Each structure stands twice: as C-alpha cells, then as structure tokens.
C-alpha cells in the first residue's frame, strides 16, 4: 500500500473521495488484478461428503 500511497501523493489524488481512490487502485492493478478482485471467493466443499450439499455461506 505504501507504493499506492506514493502514487496518490504524486498524482495529487490523496484528497480524493474513497470511491475514486479505490478506482485508481483497481486501475493500477491492471486487467489480471481487476479480474482477481472481482472474482467471488469459492465456497469450500472440503468438509462435505459425496452427495451432500455444502452449507457454507448459507443461513
């Protein structure tokens, strides 16, 4: 994060609203970084037996 903070200072964007700073950070990650950021986490099925449904993430 220190590198990104330096970028914000150098680009005079350190006083921007949080949504703009987030957009700048995502942009600086590039295509692959953005794709990873927007990919939802996988549900773990390590504790389920064959034929059972995972209850992870359900209410």
- DSSP E strand stretches across 1-59: none
Dist CA 2 CA 32 (whole Å)? 21
What is the pTM assigned to this prediction?
0.57
Give the count of alpha carbons within 13 A of 7, CB side only.
Answer: 12
pLDDT of residue 1: 75
pLDDT (tens place) for every residue of the chain, 59 residues total: 788 888 888 888 888 899 998 998 899 989 999 999 999 888 876 655 666 665 555 55
Domain positions in the chain are: 2-38
Taking every pair of C-alpha atoms in the chain, what is the biggest distance, in angstroms?
Answer: 56
Instruction: Please count the CA atoms within 13 angstroms of the CA of 16 that sit on its side-chain side.
Output: 17
Report phi then psi at 12, rounded to 5.
60, 35
């Amino acid at each position: 994060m220190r590198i990104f903070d330096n970028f914000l200072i150098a680009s005079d964007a350190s006083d921007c609203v949080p949504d703009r700073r987030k957009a700048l950070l995502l942009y600086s990650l590039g295509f692959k970084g953005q794709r990873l950021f927007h990919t939802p986490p996988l549900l773990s099925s390590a504790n389920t037996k064959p034929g059972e449904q995972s209850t992870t993430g359900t209410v």
